[in-house]
Structure 1
């Protein structure tokens, strides 16, 4: 049930991303041939990444908890590099411009499902209590707040202070969660635990989609929202 939950959530998030991108590119890429090519490349790239993460996980690559840490090097850093490239390159300017500013906020609601799966993982004995909302992980609050913030921040004019507070808070909670999972995996003694979570199975397929896909998607959405906010603020000031 837990494994199926991670797989299903990963697929749902992927489908929603592609559906949203399909809608956005209708105005961002007017040329039909160019639009179809862009969507095809994006879909293939997403599928290739998920296969890459799954293959390494099945081989047990992430069960090794010696330094250098493999999860950040092989999963997190490549996606963060893509995030920086996306926002720093002018090639995706139209995508950002044509995306409704509320969408990245509403999308964060998927984190509710993530937190419920983590709680199930704790009950199954492969996730530390500290990594759930029964411990020190308050990320579910960000997910629960997403619909409300999405509505209030864009009810009339953009509520920039609320949007900034939400995104900074969301990134802060993610940073806390990353620290919890990294420390319980590579330095379990900090939490007075005999072994890391990777040795309990959380370094296996499909649980690695948390660090290798779902968490970076949440970071990407926060970055998207902040960049969109800044660009709209500049446009208003001109």
Structure 2
């Protein structure tokens, strides 16, 4: 993108790479030997997905013909991982994979959201996203990133926060994620755009920022869904207090 300093793009590329490595590290530290053994395969699948998204955005697929319905980034970038998550949650092997992941590590993964929000603010300053997509607007997602290490350490590792509170934290995190996704969708150039016409959300249509809705957001979404499922299962098996 013209007029955008290279360090901002480089920073976001690093954020994406760290997200990938952290997720694979979570898989590598699974309770299941079978899941652990598939870390390499999962890494190759995810890196291939990132390369596909890079190719699509670098070749102008997402920022051309903006009047198409559904928007190309939704069709080729967002829908596939959403369908993948749904498939994982509905297959028996997928459920075993989900339940083998560490709740502690998944919670720590949310720290990445701090750096995503810093990047969004930088993009706003260069008129690539609207202010409402930043922490100066109506995007409060950074609060989940800031609170994640405290929830992980004091809530999960030290058991000083109740399971219900951790569950509520995940539900709030999910709601805040949906909040920014809706804002980003409605402010992006397309026939469905409803807000931020003065400064639309164009960043996600370009490399490397197309990785935000096509990779980072699905990973964070998956993490919250996994956490909520595990916490609800723990609640079901907890014996009644005498």
Q: Shorter-chain TM-score: which interval?
A: 0.7 to 0.9
Q: Deviations over 1:180-232 (max 9, x none)?
A: 111111355533x246333xx54111010111111111111100100111222
Does 1:17 find its partner at 2:23?
Answer: yes
> Scaled by the length of structure 2, what TM-score is found?
0.86
- The secondary structure found in structure 2 opposite 1:61 is coil
Quick one: structure 1 residues 82 and 14, their matched pair in 2 at CA, closer, same or farther if it must change by over 3 Å?
same
Coordinate RMSD, CA, aligned: 2.1
Alignment of 1:141-220 (within 5 A): 141-154=143-156, 155-156=158-159, 159-185=162-188, 186=190, 187-188=192-193, 190-191=195-196, 193-194=197-198, 196-198=200-202, 201-220=203-222
CA distance in 1 between partners of 2:133 and 2:29 (Å): 35
- 1:140 and 1:157 map into 2 onto residues whose CA distance is 23
Partner of 2:140: 138
Shift of 1:16: 1.4
Which structure has more helix as a fraction of its residues? Answer: 1
Runs of 4+ that moved beyond 4 A? none
- Counterpart secondary structure, 2:172: helix
Does the CA contact (< 8 Å) of 2:151 and 2:161 recur in 1?
Answer: no
- Asked if structure 2 preserves the Cα contact closer than 8 Å seen for 1:137 and 1:176, the reply is yes
After TM superposition, list the pairs within 5 Å mapping 1:102-117 onto structure 2: 102-117=104-119
Alpha-carbon distance in structure 2 between the residues aligned to 1:59 and 1:143: 33
* Aligned-residue offset at 1:98: 3.3
Q: Distance in 2 between matches of 1:94 and 1:68?
A: 34
Contact kept in structure 2, 1:87 and 1:227, CA below 8 Å: no
Give me the whole-angstrom Cα distance separating, in 2, the residues matched to 1:75 and 1:54. Answer: 10
Deviations 1:46-96 (A, max 9, x none): 111001111111111111432222222222221111112222222144433
The match for 1:55 is 55
Contact 1:57 1:204 in 2 (8 A): yes
1:135 deviation in Å? 0.8
Deviations 1:92-135 (A, max 9, x none): 44433333322221211110010001111111221111110011
Structure 2 residue matching 1:197: 3-state secondary structure: coil
Segments of 5+ residues of structure 2 without an aligned counterpart are 1-6
CA contact 2:62–2:206 (8 Å) conserved in 1: yes
Q: In 1, Cα distance between the equivalents of 2:179 and 2:95?
A: 31
